[in-house]
Structure 1
Amino acid sequence: MSRNRRRTLWVFAATALILVLSAGLIVFSAYLVKLDREIRERFAGVRWALPAQVYAAPLELYAGLGLAPADLVHELGRLGYREDPHLASTGTYLPSRTQIDIHVRPFRFWDGEQPAFKLAVRFSGNRIDSLQRLDSGEPADIVRLDPMLIGSIYPRHGEDRVLVRLAEVPPLLPAGLIAVEDRHFYEHAGVSLRAILRATLANLRAGRVVQGGSTITQQLVKNFFLTSRQSWTRKLNEALMAVLLERHYDKDEILEAYLNEVHLGQDGNRAIHGFGLGAQFYFNKPLSELQPHEIALLVGVVKGPSYYNPRRNPQRALERRNLVLAVFHEEGLIDDQTFAHATAQPLGVDAGRAGGIERYPAFVELVRRQLRGQYRDEDLTDEGLRIFTTLNPRVQETLERHIVGTLPELERARKMKAGTLEAAGVVTSVDGGEVLALVGGRDVRFPGFNRALDAQRPIGSLVKPFVYLTALERSGEFNLYTILPDEPVDLRLPHGKLWSPANYDRQLHGPQPLYRALVQSLNLPTVHLGLRVGAEQVVRTLRRAGYSGDVQPLPSLFLGALGMAPLDVAQIYATLAAGGFQAPLTAIREVQTRDGEPLSRYPVQLQQTLPDGPVYLVDWALRRVVTEGTGRGVYATLPADIAVAGKTGTTDDYRDSWFAGFSGDRVAVIWVGRDDNQPTGLSGASGALPVWARLMRDLRVQSFEPIVPESIEMLLIDMQTGLRADAGCAEVIEVPFVRGSAPVDWAPCAYEHEGPIDPLQWLREIFG
């Protein structure tokens, strides 16, 4: 081959190589431009989809509040406050026999900012005597503790986080994180060749991967932009994007982003991201209050959230934490005394709680549903809304404890297999219809089927008060002492089936006063009464009480042949408890933006939908249900001086056990049954009632003592005749009547029966 030909070939090859390299450079440059644009677009401005944060109602302290010192200590522990004799930081308290000093955390409430301050709470017995600010010595009228963060509303299989600012975190955290994960963070340009070489040598010596060479910037890129799939392409992208990220953003911005993005664990479907939520998830307190040993644990978990999970692998996590503390000590971040103290501490993980939405999943689901009509799902999962709810943690804890504790007792008594029974419960306030507690099943942390909202079960005799109320509204025809027949009924239903109801005990009891038929929950008198007033009118009464479901106006309705969830039952019984005033049950007080600006408020919507006089009569009868009727077992648990009212409910073949009732301040509904709808052998009195009674006892409810409406008069009635009575009658009962509906005739036993002498009548009696 000639020299010219060889030269031509070399020129051609060089040209081709240059063209290929140029094309490659163009493609690579275009790819870099694409990566650069992706980084700037995704990393600028709002960088995260922020789930809505859901808060419980705050505990309000004031003089005269019935609260024992031990109860306040318990509440402080639930909020993550810790005992400290010096009250050195927020979130601490110092207890004594008659006083508890608290360093109250700052919090931005819906009506303004409350700064941190020190407070003395003084007690007189089991009641708060006074409040005093320790910094100024001034008395305090009312103080709210920071509310518990009870959950987040995030996408299914999504991420959850609580944003933090670098300037607000404990200085030990970023310094310690850099010392452990990337000690040359402030020197490299996104990729550390020194770290890569060191990791490569360590891995070659070990014969396996024992060390990574990724910088904090690379880890952020991997978490924020890429998948966890291991490949050379992904590693190359990671390195390129890390360098580009460092070109556009300073080190502190990158570090702050990493603090909020790093994955720290898994909570069911929810991924725990960032140190802000990590502090809540593992320690039940704000990041700002973490101690060195707690910060070291979180930093240690970064290396492997599953491998070093402190709840599942406590020994492994403890060793990792102490190794991180040793690094802190070697780097001069903590002194000898702090190091020795920190390594001697237990893990301190809040073992009994999973944090966030796992805490009260049934209640958070109710919040989500009530918000759905006003907000899009994206608003709830992306915008960082702050949702203040009505949940009372003390009431919720009490409801959970008695459902979880009583079901095994019932199973053992009935020789059932453990786990056979299920239950649901709701507690609301009488004033305003606020949902204070809600349990959707015996596994109170499981965010699955929510029986309190979705289990449409026949309510049985819980419907009877509304049948009787429908009649008592017709005061010209019915009163509490109207005599009802207790006789068999045979009805041909529209579909042709013959309906022949019977009393619970399969017995006939003879004519019964109306109130007595309700107190003893007799079926036949109730059916006779329902037929007289009409099923359509009973449905109207239920609607006015707050029922919004679909039900056919059939005679079987009179005995509870309609399905309702416990929350629906609580709605209609809350209207009875409030004297006929209906307030739609709500779980939400206020919704704010992430910056604290108000979006929605949920004021009490109260309207009188049922007349106070007839409601008073029904409530009077329900009070007697628990003193002498089917619910009298309540007072085997409740103190005799606490008046309550309620009703048992039992469905066919003992499939459902219900109790619904109220005190002066609380409405509570309990359901017990089986998910497979098989019989349980439990009546309302033997299944749901014990849970209800224990709940109301431990809530220390107020006595139910309603004001007598002006339309009501109280009269003595002779129990034998149902006529008016006085001291001359041996067996009397004081009964309320709507004015104008009481009997006008006197019983033969009454002194008034003798009255003035009628001469003509006297002569007729003498001479026949």
Structure 2
Amino acid sequence: MQKSNFKRSTTLPQSSRPAIGTLPSQQRGIVFSSLILLVIIAGMVLLALYLIKLDRTITHKFEGKRWDIPAKVYSQPLELYQGANVDRETMKTWLELLNYQSNKSYDRTGTYHRSGNTYFIHTRGFTYSANDKDAEQVIKMTISGNKIASIQSTLPAKSGIIRLEPVNIGGIYPDSNEDRLVVSLDEVPQPLIDALIATEDRAFYEHKGVSIRGIARAVLNNFSGGSMQGGSTITQQLIKNFYLNSDRTLKRKANEALMAVLLELHYSKDEILQTYLNEIYLGQNGNRSINGFGLASQFYFDKPLKELRIDQQAMLVGMAKGPSIYNPRRHPNDSKARRDVVLNNMLAMGTLSQEDYEKALEQPLGVVDKPVEGKSQFPDFLDIVKRELNTVYYSDDLKNEGLIIISTLDPIAQLAADKAVDKKLSELRRNSSKTKDLQGALVSANPETGELVSVVGSGSEFTGFNRAVDAKRQVGSLLKPVIYMTALESGRYNLASPVDDSPITVTLGDGTKWNPKNYSNRDHGYVPLTTALAKSYNQSTVRLGMEFGVDTFARQLRRLGVQEKIPPYPSALLGSVNLSPMDMLGVYQVFATGGFRTPIHSIRTVIDNRGRILQRTGLNTQRSIPPETNFLTNYALQQVVSNGTARRAQSLGSHLNLAGKTGTTNNYRDAWFAGYSGNYVSVVWVGRDDNKPIGLSGGTGALPVWIDYMKRLKLTPVALPEPEGIEWLWLENNSGKLSNERCADARYLPVLSAHLPKEASACALGLYQQERAREQLQWQSQQGVINQQRRREGLEIPNGEAVDSDNDEDQADSNDAQSRADTWYDRAVEWF
């Protein structure tokens, strides 16, 4: 009962229950819709912000610097003109280096035809700068002997010189290890574009970045077994490669689609296509990626894109799907199968005829065995170019800005250097155990311009140690000409003066004694100056050097361009100075040019990616040695070749008047030769990296390499112009006194006009007196005849006309006597 009462008392009427926590359905709908709207608005704002971010990402990179483009280094071009020293072997080598193909029709760039001595060459052209471009042209050229007899071209050449394009010798690559050769759309063959669109994106010119039809068609074809096609458009592929990565995630695919649409809103189809053609990854060269069709063409075929056959273009397009899977060098069958798929796509799209299709299917891949692009065949020279560039440019600019560097390399000379060093070192290494580990270096330049033309400084594989510049070794007798030059310049000596080659003792600063010896351990007493240099006598050289002092010797080397510190002790006179082959090349360049110093350099021009010239190396020539002094020094160096330690070089031709000097260091550790023709100055070093004795002298170790190199070149004679201040006189050899051609020891030599000899030899004096007596008798006889004639004609005979010679000076006045005294020496010198 109580229980029922309790229930009644606690139950409230329905109408009186509170409405807390409840809203009408209309109000709930409004709130829910508002929340959804806010979420949508917030999403749209976030999406807009995200799209703005993506848009900025796209435009920032696309309109800015798209790639880090490596610098490309080229050789000098081959200049062709009537009379140029170009033979058939030179043309053969240069055309091979450029990979020109023999073709009777020569109807495409990069082809040539030779008929006898006549060449028809269809050049590729080359851009040296924005204002210096060689367009493609056809050259007709006839070679006669070793010269160009006639030359014609389809384009006018105002200078009369036609350039065959330079050889690519290497590059300086970005830290990203990406390599590419950027091409413009008009440089890409239309068949390649047709193949790309037929295979990768048939609706490229219709869609706006994303193709729903393309995706559906790709899915359908792939499931039905048709030709394999990707679902992504070319624009999407560019977005993936250019901005994103290859992750297969929904987020990446969404970003790819959005960015593809944004890219198409900003840029034309041609801009997108050109960027894709340069961005696509198409292989790997060591640790560097091959990006873009322009570089891939060089990497796989060693040709520019426009010279590829249709089937070769199709092969490159096929590789876009998988460069590793379809690598033609590793998987030629898969590569060919993929190529044929691309060709079939072109046939299906109507961009390739049935006839051309069948013909293309029969073609071999035609890929070169070894990739040429990326690995320099002239690494030592390229290393010197890089070092020179690093003194002027920042490293990032060299690696990333797409610079074009025209170097001074002469490929013909460089190949000659490579062959000479390889051949002669191989022969020398077989001599003994001492020479088994022999190494060498060779540097060569044009003496007039200072342009480096060839360098050999490492072994078969370049390790970074370039002996041409890094090997600082004692140079031995290569510095002796500087001492003899100093003696000649002083006027105390001439080319026939005696120098003492007897034993000598020099007291050093610490009180010890130094007794230099000749290599033969023989003394020669007094010898002519030219003989002392030609035979490379040490004792006479030290005695002569000490006469003028080691400080003077060091100053002279600085005049010649040597920047290394010269040690202040007498042994420096015999070459105990550590210098590189490049250092010595600079010294002998001065001798070869009449005393003018032009710094050795490896770069002609540097051009940026817009064709602007950033650097052009001009002739920075300075007078280093007086021309008359250098003329005498050159004569002395020619004696080294004609009858001294370098006589073997005469085998190149005595008419060349070659000059040079051998060098050998203590215990036969280093062998050197430095010398020059009229158009090449070259230095060779031979030794071991561990500095152990090799048992070879300059004449037996370095000179054979130098001769082999020089004989492969077209040499001109040494013909320095005779400067003012030089007179040619007969001198007595080993006394330096005036002489006469009838005397036994007389030599006809150049002499400084400011320092003519004051004495005559006994032989010459006797002959001179006899000649003067004979002339006096003739004069007296002539006067007697004249006087007799005057008497017959009744004419007066002038006083003193018939007097003898003993009374001449008594009848002259004092002024006349002084005049006779002033002219006697000049008349005597003329007679001598």
TM class by shorter chain equals: 0.7 to 0.9
Q: Pick which of 314-323 and 552-561 moved more.
A: 314-323
Instruction: Note the C-alpha offset of 1:113.
Output: 3.3
Distance 1:749 1:56, change over 3 A: same
Letter in 1 for 2:311: H
- 1:601 is matched with which residue? 616
Letter in 1 for 2:576: A
Q: Counterparts of 2:772 and 2:185 in 1: how far apart (Å)?
A: 99
Contact 1:68–1:125, Cα closer than 8 Å, also in 2:
yes
Distance 1:223 1:132, change over 3 A: same
Distance 1:611 1:178, change over 3 A: same
Distance 1:228 1:538, change over 3 A: farther
- 2:492 is matched with which residue? 476
Distance 1:6 1:154, change over 3 A: farther
Contact 2:457–2:468, Cα closer than 8 Å, also in 1:
yes
Q: Counterparts of 2:586 and 2:772 in 1: how far apart (Å)?
A: 56
Q: 1:458 aligned to 2:474?
A: yes
- 1:764 is matched with which residue? none
DSSP 3-state at the match of 1:671? strand
- 2:386 is matched with which residue? 368
- 2:126 is matched with which residue? 107
Distance 1:12 1:87, change over 3 A: same
Contact 1:727–1:751, Cα closer than 8 Å, also in 2:
no
Letter in 2 for 1:437: S
Letter in 2 for 1:299: V
Q: 1:681 aligned to 2:699?
A: no
CA deviations 1:348-367 (Å, max 9, x no partner) are 44546623562433333333
Instruction: Note the C-alpha offset of 1:462.
Output: 1.6
- 1:737 is matched with which residue? 751
- 1:246 is matched with which residue? 264
Q: 1:539 aligned to 2:554?
A: yes
- 2:729 is matched with which residue? 715
Letter in 2 for 1:664: G
Q: 1:56 aligned to 2:72?
A: no
Once the two structures are superposed, the pairs formed by residues 115-126 of structure 1 within 5 Å of their partners are 115-126=135-146
- 2:656 is matched with which residue? 642
- 1:258 is matched with which residue? 276
- 1:289 is matched with which residue? 307
Between structure 1 and structure 2, the one with the greater Rg is 2
DSSP 3-state at the match of 1:755? helix
Contact 1:157–1:271, Cα closer than 8 Å, also in 2:
no
Distance 1:271 1:570, change over 3 A: farther
DSSP 3-state at the match of 2:352? coil
Q: Counterparts of 1:460 and 1:394 in 2: how far apart (Å)?
A: 31
Letter in 1 for 2:492: G
Instruction: Note the C-alpha offset of 1:212.
Output: 6.3
Contact 1:133–1:139, Cα closer than 8 Å, also in 2:
no
Q: 1:433 aligned to 2:447?
A: no
- 1:610 is matched with which residue? 625
Q: 1:549 aligned to 2:564?
A: yes
- 1:660 is matched with which residue? 674
Q: Pick which of 574-583 and 186-195 moved more.
A: 186-195
Q: 1:581 aligned to 2:596?
A: yes
- 2:525 is matched with which residue? 510
Q: Counterparts of 1:651 and 1:268 in 2: how far apart (Å)?
A: 42
Distance 1:272 1:690, change over 3 A: farther
Q: 1:407 aligned to 2:425?
A: yes
Instruction: Note the C-alpha offset of 1:660.
Output: 1.4
DSSP 3-state at the match of 1:413? coil
- 2:788 is matched with which residue? none
Instruction: Note the C-alpha offset of 1:134.
Output: 5.1
Q: 1:160 aligned to 2:179?
A: yes
Distance 1:275 1:676, change over 3 A: farther
Q: Counterparts of 1:675 and 1:235 in 2: how far apart (Å)?
A: 58
DSSP 3-state at the match of 1:299? helix
Q: Counterparts of 2:588 and 2:112 in 1: how far apart (Å)?
A: 40
- 1:701 is matched with which residue? 715
Q: Pick which of 248-257 and 229-238 moved more.
A: 229-238
Contact 1:131–1:141, Cα closer than 8 Å, also in 2:
no
Q: Pick which of 227-236 and 684-693 moved more.
A: 227-236
Letter in 2 for 1:523: N
Instruction: Note the C-alpha offset of 1:266.
Output: 3.6
- 1:76 is matched with which residue? 95
Q: Pick which of 482-491 and 231-240 moved more.
A: 231-240
- 1:526 is matched with which residue? 541
Q: Counterparts of 2:102 and 2:334 in 1: how far apart (Å)?
A: 28
Contact 1:260–1:274, Cα closer than 8 Å, also in 2:
yes
- 1:274 is matched with which residue? 292
Letter in 2 for 1:422: Q
Instruction: Note the C-alpha offset of 1:387.
Output: 2.8
CA deviations 1:506-549 (Å, max 9, x no partner) are 43333332222221222222222221111221121111112223
Contact 1:158–1:271, Cα closer than 8 Å, also in 2:
yes
Distance 1:608 1:23, change over 3 A: same
Contact 1:182–1:216, Cα closer than 8 Å, also in 2:
yes
Letter in 1 for 2:619: V
Contact 1:51–1:381, Cα closer than 8 Å, also in 2:
yes
CA deviations 1:399-442 (Å, max 9, x no partner) are 22222333322222335797x34333222112121112223313
Q: Counterparts of 2:618 and 2:658 in 1: how far apart (Å)?
A: 27
DSSP 3-state at the match of 1:686? helix
Letter in 2 for 1:635: Q
- 2:243 is matched with which residue? 225
DSSP 3-state at the match of 2:293? helix
Contact 2:128–2:607, Cα closer than 8 Å, also in 1:
no
Hey, which of these two has a bigger chunk of helix by percent? 2
CA deviations 1:657-685 (Å, max 9, x no partner) are 32211100111122233333343333322
Q: 1:379 aligned to 2:394?
A: no
Letter in 1 for 2:669: R
Contact 1:276–1:287, Cα closer than 8 Å, also in 2:
yes
CA deviations 1:368-407 (Å, max 9, x no partner) are 3334444333433344333333222211222222223333
Q: Pick which of 290-299 and 234-243 moved more.
A: 234-243
- 1:42 is matched with which residue? 61
DSSP 3-state at the match of 2:715? coil
Q: Counterparts of 2:78 and 2:314 in 1: how far apart (Å)?
A: 32
Q: Counterparts of 2:45 and 2:87 in 1: how far apart (Å)?
A: 75
CA deviations 1:587-607 (Å, max 9, x no partner) are 223333433333333221222
Distance 1:415 1:97, change over 3 A: farther
Contact 2:110–2:123, Cα closer than 8 Å, also in 1:
yes
Q: Counterparts of 1:88 and 1:52 in 2: how far apart (Å)?
A: 31
Letter in 1 for 2:473: R
Q: 1:131 aligned to 2:151?
A: yes
For structure 1, list consecutive stretches of 5 or more residues without a partner in the other structure: 760-768
DSSP 3-state at the match of 1:687? helix
Q: Counterparts of 2:64 and 2:711 in 1: how far apart (Å)?
A: 53
Distance 1:6 1:592, change over 3 A: same
Letter in 2 for 1:259: L
CA deviations 1:168-205 (Å, max 9, x no partner) are 31101111122333444345544556776788899999
Q: Counterparts of 1:667 and 1:438 in 2: how far apart (Å)?
A: 12
Letter in 2 for 1:652: N
Contact 1:456–1:565, Cα closer than 8 Å, also in 2:
yes
Aligned residues: 750
Contact 2:325–2:331, Cα closer than 8 Å, also in 1:
yes
Distance 1:606 1:43, change over 3 A: same
Distance 1:287 1:118, change over 3 A: same
